[in-house]
């Protein structure tokens, strides 16, 4: 094991490379040698079209998965929130890093900016259907504009006047050193995050050498985060949500229980369903599935059907 170099596949954006370096550091501490392999994905190449129009399945993951399957890399490192609810044949998520704060934040050079101030028109840059629909629901005075690209590109577009502020995940902002631009930490009860937001996921082939798999899991996996993400991803799987569906869920642990809050919001922001369930740690996935079924029964099924028929 000691002379084996683990090939870590990653996207080439600064944030993706930060994540890959983070994993490589965890490996180093555990005595595992590694090498980072940069891979271009469709989501990185096509920047003038919204994610939902490119197709929500594996926009940022497909090319990495191809190299996993043909053995050019041993593992792929992703933002957990970019992972489709169902993985391809022969692939699995084997580890999740300690989760950073999961909430969304507002980034702006205008320090006094606040979403709650309805007296001023505000233009918000985001490409997330979840964030756009949530804005429409709680802050109809805010106008959303499509902004794609890596964090640095988005900030440049904001500075050039495309928007007053950006709506982003805190984790990426913090990891890239832009916390000084955060003007508002958004309420987790309003902006419930995307499934997996804030954690790094390690993907591998099911055929990966079991000893190597064990060593990777031991080096990277945070048990508490993994339990939470299993609940969230089970919720997503039942709803069959991709990047283009405004569903959300956040699991937290307390008193040896998993607390899961999740829901869905219609694209026009008019309808928003949010439900909560609590259950034992050992039944995290069943909890996610049960919550999804309740959300569907509470009107989520109708919202999903409307979304699938809309030309968004």
- Is 82 considered catalytic here? yes
Mean pLDDT throughout 194-205?
Answer: 97
The closest alpha carbon to 271, from 307, 242, 237, belongs to: 307
Q: How far apart are CA 263 and CA 275, in angstroms?
A: 6
Instruction: Using the predicted structure, report yes or no on whether residue 53 has a pLDDT greater than 80.
Output: no
Active-site choice (99, 205, 243, 272) = 243
Q: Is residue 143 part of a domain?
A: yes
What span, in angstroms and rounded, lies between the C-alpha atoms of 256 and 248?
23
Q: Which of 11, 99, 131, 261 is catalytic?
A: 131
Whether 246 is in a domain gets the answer yes
When mean pLDDT is compared across 8-17, 25-34, 155-164, 243-252, the lowest value belongs to 243-252
Among residues 159, 185, 211, the one where a domain terminates is: 185
| Residue 310, pLDDT score | 79
Flag whether pLDDT at 96 surpasses 80. yes
Q: Is there a single domain that holds both residue 88 and residue 109?
A: no
Tokens standing for residue 43: 């989501």
Catalytic residue among 82, 164, 220, 230: 82
Query: Of residues 148, 230, 261, 272, which has the active-site annotation?
Result: 148
Query: For the chain, how many structural domains are there in total?
Result: 3
SS3 259: strand
Q: What residues are paired with 95 via a beta bridge? A: 202
| Mean pLDDT across the chain | 91
CATH number of the domain bearing residue 253: 3.30.160.40
Respond yes or no: is residue 104 known to be catalytic: no
Annotation marks residue 148 as catalytic: yes
154 flagged as catalytic? yes
Q: Which of 11, 99, 136, 154 is catalytic?
A: 154
Same domain as 88, residue 164: no
CB 250 within 8 A of CB 232: yes
Nearest to 212 by CA among 12, 24, 32, 80: 32
Catalytic residue among 11, 44, 74, 81: 81
130 classed as catalytic: yes
Residues 281 and 295 occupy one common structural domain: yes
Split at pLDDT 50, 70, 90, the class of 47 is very low
| Domain boundaries, position 172 | 104-185
Mean pLDDT of 248-276: 97
Confidence class of residue 2 from pLDDT cuts 50, 70 and 90?
low
Catalytic residue among 44, 74, 99, 130: 130
* Tokens 């041993």 belong to residue: 74
Q: Residue 154 sits in a domain of what CATH number?
A: 3.40.190.10
Q: Do 235 and 292 contact (CB within 8 A), yes or no?
A: yes
Instruction: Output the pTM of the full model.
Output: 0.91
């Amino acid at each position: 094991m000691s002379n084996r170099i683990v090939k870590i596949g990653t996207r080439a954006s600064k944030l993706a490379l930060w994540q890959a370096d983070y994993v490589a550091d965890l490996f180093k501490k555990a005595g595992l040698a590694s090498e980072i392999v940069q891979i271009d994905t469709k989501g990185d190449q096509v920047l003038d079209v919204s994610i939902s129009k490119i197709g929500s399945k594996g926009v940022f993951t497909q090319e990495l998965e191809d190299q996993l399957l043909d053995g050019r890399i041993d593992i792929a490192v992703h933002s957990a929130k970019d992972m489709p609810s169902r993985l391809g044949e022969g692939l699995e998520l084997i580890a999740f890093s300690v989760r950073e704060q999961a909430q969304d934040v507002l980034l702006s050079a205008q320090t006094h900016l606040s979403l709650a101030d309805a007296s001023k028109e505000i233009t918000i840059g985001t490409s997330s259907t979840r964030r756009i629909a949530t804005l429409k629901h709680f802050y109809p005075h805010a106008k959303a504009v499509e902004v794609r690209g890596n964090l640095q590109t988005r900030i440049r577009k904001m500075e050039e006047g495309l928007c007053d502020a950006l709506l982003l995940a805190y984790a990426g902002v913090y990891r890239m050193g832009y916390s000084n631009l955060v003007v508002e930490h958004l309420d987790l009860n309003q902006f419930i995050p995307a499934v997996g937001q804030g954690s790094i996921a390690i993907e591998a082939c099911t055929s990966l050498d079991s000893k190597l798999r064990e060593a990777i899991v031991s080096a990277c996996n945070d048990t508490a985060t993994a339990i939470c993400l299993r609940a969230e991803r089970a919720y997503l799987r039942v709803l069959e949500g991709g990047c283009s569906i405004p569903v959300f869920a956040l699991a937290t642990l307390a008193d040896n229980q998993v607390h899961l809050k999740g829901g869905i919001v219609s694209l026009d922001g008019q309808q928003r369903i949010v439900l909560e369930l609590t259950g034992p740690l050992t039944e995290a996935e069943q909890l996610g599935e049960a919550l999804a079924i309740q959300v569907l029964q509470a009107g989520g099924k109708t919202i999903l059907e409307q979304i699938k028929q809309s030309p968004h």
